[in-house]
Structure 1
Amino acid sequence: MHLSHHRLSHRRQAAVGGLLSSDLCRERQHGPACAGIDPKGLRLLVARTFRQRLLGLHAHSRLPWHSGLCIRPCKAIHTAGLGYAIDVVFLDRRLRVLKRIDRLPPWRMAICLKAACVVELPAGYCAAHPDIERLIRDALCGGRV
């Protein structure tokens, strides 16, 4: 599935077991409407099932510039077989940045044992957006944490 062709509504996709999930926000009592896509900024798919986390970005072609993948729960990722570099942001349960790796090349690993989730973004996205923590928070929960 390509991120650019992703057209299901948040509630519909969560109901059919798709990649988007509002559970991250619901845990913070923000309701189901704050799941994964901010039409004005960063768009994040949220991988929560074992299969979704296992496939990660390998299930997608290159990421469009304002798109990414949030993997929850996750403490480590790899880029084996990915074919392109990515930016990686490890977050705690309150969506605070614990660790950021810019342009992680293919065939590498990144680990942060204190992380609750990780966001994978196109290479160079974090450097181009110094407010990456706010963008991620807005994409996942409308900025409310």
Structure 2
Amino acid sequence: MMQIGQLYKNNQLVVNKVWLAKSILQRMRGLLFRKSLEPDQAMLIRPCSSIHTIGMTYPLDIVFIDAQGIVLKALKNVRPLRMAFAINAYATIEFYAGEIERIGIQRGDYLDWKAA
């Protein structure tokens, strides 16, 4: 069972429900065969420096962070059948499409997951 936590941007709560995928099986499955995320939900996959949306039926916003939680790359509205990666990424956060804009995530921001 995946842990659930919250995501903070520069120490301010920005996402209330974030699943942590850290086992090999959890990371491999990710969001495949799951219903779409909703606003204010996300999945943190760690370790993870690349993702694909093959088999997905909905777009995602994707953020890659380094081991310290610094945003390296933010991709908006990544549609199904795509691949993405970031050099030096330690983890990936998958968001409901539109959340990068709503939260205002930019390269260099500090993101931190905390268990609920």
2:66 to 85, 89, 92: 92
Greater helix fraction, Structure 1 or Structure 2: 1
What is the aligned residue count? Answer: 107
Aligned-partner Cα distance in 2 for 1:131–1:121? 11
Query: Which letter does structure 2 place at the counterpart of 1:66?
Result: D
- TM-score scaled to structure 1, two decimals? 0.67
Q: What SS is found at the alignment partner of 2:28?
A: helix
Which residue number corresponds to residue 82 of structure 1? 56
Which residue number corresponds to residue 37 of structure 1? 6
Q: Could you report, residue by residue, the CA deviation over 1:107-131 in whole angstroms, capped at 9, with x for unpaired residues?
A: 0000112100000000011012215
Supply the RMSD in Å over aligned alpha carbons: 1.9
Q: What SS is found at the alignment partner of 2:20?
A: strand
Q: Could you report, residue by residue, the CA deviation over 1:51-107 in whole angstroms, capped at 9, with x for unpaired residues?
A: 000000114210011000000000100000101100000000110000000000100
Does 2:71 align with 1:71? no
Greater strand fraction, Structure 1 or Structure 2: 2
Does 2:8 align with 1:19? no
How far the C-alpha of 1:41 sits from its partner, in A, is 4.2
Query: Which letter does structure 2 place at the counterpart of 1:109?
Result: M
Which structure: larger Rg?
Answer: 1
Aligned-partner Cα distance in 2 for 1:37–1:95? 14
Any gaps of 5 or more consecutive residues in structure 1? 1-17, 21-34
- TM-score scaled to structure 2, two decimals? 0.83
Query: Which letter does structure 2 place at the counterpart of 1:37?
Result: Q
Any gaps of 5 or more consecutive residues in structure 2? 8-12
Q: Which runs of 4+ in 1 moved over 4 A?
A: 131-134
Q: What SS is found at the alignment partner of 1:53?
A: helix
Aligned-partner Cα distance in 1 for 2:50–2:100? 19
How far the C-alpha of 1:141 sits from its partner, in A, is 3.0
